[in-house]
A and B are shown apart, each in its own frame.
Chain A
């Protein structure tokens, strides 16, 4: 069974540009979660999508947005990039919101803003 896949692995952008990160969940998983892992700050919750809808978002500005497609894959968009957006962005999936176990994470996209 393929795990959660994220692309690209690395992304370098200039301040002010837009970044698009992609995530494919495990087959059969309908929930997708996005986290930002900045150095020394642990995992900060960004967004949760389920069945194509945004269900919850963390304490991040509106320039962080995303969507979930009919095949349950997801996209995270970060507009007007700032230097402090440099981080590892992790996507996780779960079979359904009420599944008894934890997330399965992808390997992440390392975003560097210069």
Chain B
């Protein structure tokens, strides 16, 4: 049973465009929602995170939008660059454990 559902599975965006990745969950006990970025041959690295009492968090070109009532959150990458090409995972924490989405492979075309 996938606790966090992520879409799309893959995404192709032109340089300068906006990349949007969506995640949904059911467990209302989740209290922390990070996004991870993974380059080939590397482990996932924490990119940005949000708590459910905040509707939006922005760090540079990366923004998390959080809709508590809909139990959805999304990652927006503004002005996408070829260097952003990677796999992105959303996650959610309950207690001492994190649950991950299945990942989105993002390709930014120059």
- Is the C-beta of A42 less than 8 angstroms from some C-beta in chain B? yes
**Closest B residue by C-beta to A94:** B96
Interface string of B34-58 (1 = CB under 8 A from A): 1010000111111001000000000
Bound form: Cα–Cα A10–B89 in Å = 23
B49 adjacent to A102 (CB under 8 Å): yes
Chain B: interface residue total (CB-CB under 8 A): 22
A43 adjacent to B100 (CB under 8 Å): yes
Label chain B's interface by main secondary structure: strand
- Contacts A42-B89, A42-B103, A100-B32 given; indicate if A108 touches B96 (C-beta within 8 A): no
* Contact pick for A107, options B42, B49, B99, CB 8 Å: B42
- Is the C-beta of A63 less than 8 angstroms from some C-beta in chain B? no
Chain A: interface residue total (CB-CB under 8 A): 26
CB-CB nearest 7 A-B residue pairs: A105-B43, A42-B102, A97-B96, A43-B100, A102-B34, A102-B46, A107-B43
**Which A residues contact B (CB, under 8 angstroms)?**
4, 31, 33, 35, 40-43, 45, 48, 50, 55-56, 90, 92, 97-98, 100-108
- Offer 22 A-B interface pairs, CB within 8 angstroms, sorted by A: A31-B96, A33-B98, A41-B102, A42-B6, A42-B100, A43-B44, A43-B89, A43-B100, A48-B96, A90-B43, A98-B96, A101-B49, A102-B34, A102-B36, A102-B49, A102-B93, A103-B46, A104-B46, A105-B43, A107-B42, A107-B43, A108-B43
